[in-house]
Amino acid sequence: MANEKIMIVDDDVNICELLRLYLEKEGFTTVILNNGQDAVESFNSVKPDLVLLDIMLPGLDGWQVCRKIRSVSSTPVIMLTAKGETFDKVLGLELGADDYIVKPFDTKEVLARIKAVLRRVSTQTTEQIKEVRYDKLVINLTNYELRVNGVQIDTPPKELELIYHLASNPNRVFTRDQLLDEVWGFDYYGDSRTVDVHVKRLREKLEGVSDQWELKTVWSVGYKFETKEPPITG
């Protein structure tokens, strides 16, 4: 793993320089931006493999930057937050952040987190096309497409990953904590209501589409994709 480009977005020049020196020593290329607006405007031209994104930024804050990145790309984002700062993990997950790190941090931990996220993305892109189909429903994780009755439905990345995970394991019950760990890909401590929010939004898209399957709540446990037919996978 080398030559991946990391975009560092932080208004603390000392932190940026520390990260730059450490990451370039490990074989990464780095691009540094100290302003949220500049990060958004430069994202498409820089084409980073991963973004290290501070929350408290001039111009646009980290939440706004993450939202704008997610509207055009699935590039992994690791949020940086100062110790003692209120970090809304649910909001971070909602916006599609892949991980978060609390300052002050150990550079070895940052490197480990970056490698873990990039490894996960690399594994996903080198596998065969990931698609599961049911009656009137196609979920394609390779192209991040959800089709209902042949019509593509706009779906945020984490919603699509969640329904793909459930539909790929039909009739299996998952707890909320299992879904956070297996879909979001990092340990999550705190309020698991983000899963409920995602399921609610998926139900708005999928309710009543077919009588052959259902996104079902298992009370006091979690959720499952209940179906009368086996999936067709690709």
Please give the DSSP secondary-structure letter assigned to residue 58.
Answer: S
> If you average pLDDT over residues 64-91, what whole number do you get?
78
Lowest mean pLDDT among 52-56, 115-119, 204-208, 214-218: 115-119
Residue % of the chain over a pLDDT of 70:
87
End residue of a domain, out of 70, 92, 126: 126
Instruction: Pull the structure tokens for residue 67.
Output: 């939202």
Instruction: Pull the structure tokens for residue 175.
Output: 């707890």
Cβ-based neighbours of 220, under 8 Å, separated by 6 or more:
none
> Does 5 score more than 70 pLDDT?
yes
Position 120 scores a pLDDT of 78
3-state secondary structure of 16: helix
The Cα–Cα gap between 47 and 222 comes to 38
Q: Do 116 and 58 share a domain, yes or no?
A: yes
**Amino acid symbol at 93:** L
The Cα–Cα gap between 166 and 174 comes to 8
Q: Do 58 and 165 share a domain, yes or no?
A: no
What's the total number of domains in the chain?
2
Position 127 scores a pLDDT of 52
**Amino acid symbol at 112:** A
Q: Do 66 and 120 share a domain, yes or no?
A: yes
Residue 1: which pLDDT band, with cuts at 50, 70 and 90? very low
The Cα–Cα gap between 210 and 190 comes to 35
Q: Do 144 and 40 share a domain, yes or no?
A: no
Residue % of the chain over a pLDDT of 90:
50
Position 158 scores a pLDDT of 87
Instruction: Please report the DSSP string for 89-102 in residue order.
Output: HHHHHHHT--EEEE
In the numeric block, the tokens 């939004």 are attached to 201
Q: Do 95 and 160 share a domain, yes or no?
A: no
Given a contact cutoff of 8 angstroms between Cβ atoms, the answer to whether 21 and 9 are in contact is no
Q: Do 63 and 114 share a domain, yes or no?
A: yes
Please give the DSSP secondary-structure letter assigned to residue 69.
Answer: H
CA nearest to 33, candidates 67, 49, 57, 2: 57
Q: Do 122 and 198 share a domain, yes or no?
A: no
Q: Do 30 and 107 share a domain, yes or no?
A: yes
**Cβ–Cβ contacts within 10 Å for residue 107, how many?**
14
CA nearest to 212, candidates 228, 224, 225, 231: 228
**Residue 197 is part of a domain; what is its CATH number?**
1.10.10.10
> If you average pLDDT over residues 127-134, what whole number do you get?
79
**pLDDT single digits (tens) 190-221:** 467 889 999 999 999 999 999 999 999 999 89
Q: Do 9 and 119 share a domain, yes or no?
A: yes
Q: Do 176 and 107 share a domain, yes or no?
A: no
**Residue 90 is part of a domain; what is its CATH number?**
3.40.50.2300
> Does 112 score more than 80 pLDDT?
yes
End residue of a domain, out of 108, 126, 144: 126
Lowest mean pLDDT among 41-55, 172-186, 206-220: 172-186
3-state secondary structure of 26: coil
Instruction: Look over the chain and give the mean of its residue pLDDT values, rounded to a whole number.
Output: 86
Position 116 scores a pLDDT of 87
End residue of a domain, out of 126, 147, 175: 126
> Does 160 score more than 80 pLDDT?
yes
Q: Do 93 and 37 share a domain, yes or no?
A: yes
**How does strand 99-103 pair with strand 77-82?**
parallel
Identify the residue with better confidence: 89 or 159. 159
Q: Do 62 and 142 share a domain, yes or no?
A: no
Cβ-based neighbours of 17, under 8 Å, separated by 6 or more:
none
In the numeric block, the tokens 């006091």 are attached to 220
Lowest mean pLDDT among 38-42, 105-109, 133-137: 105-109
Helix axes 13-25, 107-126, angle to 10 degrees: 60
> Does 189 score more than 80 pLDDT?
no
- Sheet strand arrangement including 232-233: 151-153, 145-148, 137-140, 131-134, 232-233
Give residue 140's domain range: 131-233
Identify the residue with better confidence: 28 or 194. 28
Give the phi and the psi of residue 161 in degrees, each rounded to 5. Answer: -65, -35
